[in-house]
Amino acid sequence: MLLTQNTSKSNDLFGPPLGLTMQQAVPFLDRLIREPAFRAWIPLLLGRESESWYVAHRREAPDGSYSLQVFVWPPGSRTRVHDHSSWGAYRCALGTIFEERYERLDDGSILDHAHLRKAWERAWREGDGTSTVLPYEGGIHRIGNPGEKTAISVHLYGPRIGDIDGRDYDLSRAYVCDRRAA
């Protein structure tokens, strides 16, 4: 298997040690994305037909300190506006990924209500660097592939802060709800 698990120490391809921090995640993703064996593996992910994004590979640390996930983004697919209950970092490995980042304008005191405003948007291409998010309001975003060809990204998440995986937002109704871990 390409991404072998060795969580006791760093190895040449997989690398993330137990207790990985967001500051360590960025250089790790930078190295992984340039790794020749990883680059050779990417075309193998393009064979599956799908209309929606999906996780093609997932590696969880046994102690819960990180989750490494490889996402495949068919043309036109995107996530809901969401946040995470952990820090996160991702990098585009193939094609172009488009990210919209949001800021929360209300104070969170009304149950199931969130008023958001788009803070910025950016296209991330191979070689553009790594996007990072902080937990909850520090990383409300939507990611997708507006292009005509499949894109691939690699995501690294830290340990969850609580029982939920994050929250999903509906901009048209100023609504927010918890998202349970799968």
Give the architecture-level CATH label for domain 22-180: Sandwich (2.60)
CB-based contacts of 106, cutoff 8 Å, min separation 6: 113, 114, 115
pTM of this prediction? 0.88
* CA nearest neighbour of 138 among 75, 86, 174, 179: 86
- CA dist 94 and 2 (Å) reads 17
Residue-level pLDDT, tens digit, the chain, 182 residues: 344 444 334 333 455 767 788 999 999 999 999 999 999 999 989 888 888 999 999 988 888 889 999 999 999 999 999 999 999 999 999 999 999 999 999 999 999 999 999 999 999 999 999 999 999 999 999 999 999 999 999 999 999 888 889 999 999 999 999 998 76
Burial (0-12, 13-18, 19+ Cβ within 10 Å), 153: buried
Name the one residue in this structure whose structure tokens are 């989750």: 67
* Domain range summary for the chain, segments of one domain joined by +: 22-180
Token digits of residue 24: 């360590």
